[in-house]
Amino acid sequence: MAPSWWGEQGHRGGGGTPVVVKMETPKNWSISEIEAPCDEDFMYPNGENTKRRNKNAKQLTWVLLLKAHKAAGCFTSLASTIRRRVSAGTTDAADSLETESKVVKTRLFSCIKIFLMLALVLLGFELAAYFKGWHFSAPDLHLEYLYTLRGTLLVKDVFGLVYSRWVLIRVEYLAPPLQFLANACIVLFIVQSVDRLVLCLGCFWIKFKKIKPIAKGVTLDLECGDEGGDYFPMVLVQIPMCNEKEVYQQSIAAVCNLEWPKGKILIQVLDDSDDPETQLMIKDEVHKWQQEGANIVYRHRVNREGYKAGNLKSAMNCSYVKDYEFVTIFDADFQPASDFLSRTIPHFKDNEELGLVQARWSFVNKDENLLTRLQNINLAFHFEVEQQVNGIFLNFFGFNGTAGVWRMKALEGSGGWLERTTVEDMDIAVRAHLHGWKFIYLNDVECQCELPESYEAYRKQQHRWHSGPMQLFRLCLPDIIRAKISIWKKGNLIFLFFLLRKLILPFYSFTLFCVILPMTMFIPEATLPSWVVCYIPATMSLLNILPAPKSFPFIVPYLLFENTMSVTKFNAMVSGLFQLGSAYEWVVTKKSGRSSEGDLVSLVDKKPTHHRAVSEPDLVELQEEIKKQAQKAAKKKKHNRIYTKELALACLLLTASARSLLSAQGIHFYFLLFQGISFLLVGLDLIGEQVE
């Protein structure tokens, strides 16, 4: 029942319809009707009808109160979610062995806890000194002044003696090295910002000049393709997957509907699944498309040795592969358009130096939640700016592992797939570049795929994406130095491709904004200028968001979230660089199985019979194993986690923001406050998919 103050404000008359409010709980309310304007509203446009105006003012008040109740309901729901999550107590320790180096994780978390405890002690210390009137701003902190002050005023009690000694230690011993480290990180920050600006200028130039790769003199006629056609080489299509129960159907269906002569295409479904039920479902799907006339085969490995690289390497050892000139790779959640091959393969004709054609990714679930929106900003910049600029001006970029077409000669001549890192796609791209092969990136050819919708899945993906390049850098640095390529190409690979974008970026992001900035609040003699804390990061975020203009309202959450993710990226970078823990562990990114708009419209009219492979001799044993797996899966409950490092950093940053109030540092305070809240939300797993 609504509160009395709510019901007593209702009114009648004026030809309108009264507001009807239903409110059972703070979260559960609705507006059935809001009073519509009557004739008097148009007869007295200048507000002569005071009575009517008063009633409209009351309506506005009610609507504002409703919105206030909605906001209160949201906060109530958020508070209950936080209480429930904290009471559950499920932390990220359970999956640390899968996604992180246990040594690095433990040491990093221990360091963060030590910093947090010191920050709390120092905050109490500074508060006590502040209320005694012994708080000094930076201009006052000169050694001569402090020595004089120590000998006169502060030595009246023990606290004054201790505080004066602490200030002297700060000025003499702690501030100089901290300021040096801050200046070094600022230099790295400026260099990386200049690199980002140059990439953006290159992208603007491409747009202004309308530069794009063009396949010259190639026309495709699918009707005569089987009889020779214009340019229809033999194409092998590979779909590597592992326990991809949610997405295998749409991926296989999309690839089977590629427009290419049936006699000149072969589809390999490379299944690494260790779940018997998933194996049976994928095998059944392949059999169904074989009955439909698709040239598709199913391959399954007994073990996942080498992960995706091992899977692809095993498939390339088949004797029939030598008959194919090109190989196209699609991960299990990718849904290429039917004209994908006809828009990519023609670029290879009369271009014998071309080894790879890469298409752009687009995302079916980019608007699913805040996490996917923020990922879309990052990846839109990666494809629209980084890949396109590097492809146009350098003929080189990192292969994205999927939605690309390789020339077989380039793949085999560069050493084929190697199992030495978890970024086999970047590995083969670097080796092909060292062998002189050129790459083309097609920004106008898109392939639909999924973004991770939960923070746990995204975190695991980012750990692999940032530990793998550091493994590869250690392994291929001697080859880059010895390679017979220009000094410019070597410098681009070593400094820009690896050091600046894969190592320096996560290092300074974490060190500058999560370590140095909080420390400067407690050691105010070392300072970070406002343009480092606010203006340059805001400018870089604005440049990052330009390829996805619809995401402009999320520019502040994007900036904060990128700094929050620097912890995971820094941890992964250290693991990969020093070959620690899970640097070689591959965790398949969880998929939800969302399809592109229309969900393969070309299949609407097709209703093939679902054929079961009942002739398999081991089907009974397989079904029994499926039942056992299902019983085990039923015992596992899906839930959100609490991430301890992020929570500890949230407390550290919020403590530093409280300390900054004593120094009246406005921009620093707001940055630390909002950054701390960002870490808090991520630490409680309140971003991304929520499991009730």
- Residues tagged active-site: 272, 425
First to last CA, the chain: 27
In angstroms, the CA 149 to CA 140 distance is 11
Q: Rounded to the nearest 10 degrees, what angle do helices 248-256 and 276-291 cross at?
A: 20
In angstroms, the CA 603 to CA 183 distance is 60
**Where are the strands (E) in 263-379, listed by range?**
265-271, 296-300, 326-329, 335-336, 354-363
Alpha-carbon distances, residue 403 vs 51, 244, 391 (angstroms): 66, 17, 15
Nearest 10 degrees: Cα torsion 214, 219, 222, 227: -130
In angstroms, the CA 672 to CA 513 distance is 9
Taking every pair of Cα atoms in the chain, the longest distance, rounded to a whole number of angstroms, is: 101
In our burial notation (b when 16+ CB lie closer than 10 A, e otherwise), range 393-418 reads ebbbbbbbbbbbbbbbebbeebeebb
For 518-565, the DSSP string reads HHHHHSTTS---HIIIIIHHHHHHHHHHTTSGGGGGGHHHHHHHHHHH
Instruction: Enumerate the H helices of 388-515 as residue ranges.
Output: 388-394, 408-413, 424-434, 455-482, 487-491, 505-510
For 456-468, the DSSP string reads HHHHHHHHHHHHH
Are the CB atoms for 52 and 14 separated by under 8 Å? yes
Q: Is 36 helix (H, G, I), strand (E, B) or coil?
A: coil
Strands 404-407 and 354-363: antiparallel
Encode 249-280 in three state secondary structure: HHHHHHHHCCCCCHHHEEEEEEECCCCHHHHH
In angstroms, the CA 307 to CA 96 distance is 19
Q: How many residues does the chain have?
A: 692
Instruction: Enumerate the H helices of 483-504 as residue ranges.
Output: 487-491
**In sequence order, which residues have a C-beta less than 8 Å from that of residue 206 and are 6 or more positions away?**
212, 388, 389, 392
Residue 30 backbone dihedrals phi, psi, to 5 degrees: -155, 155
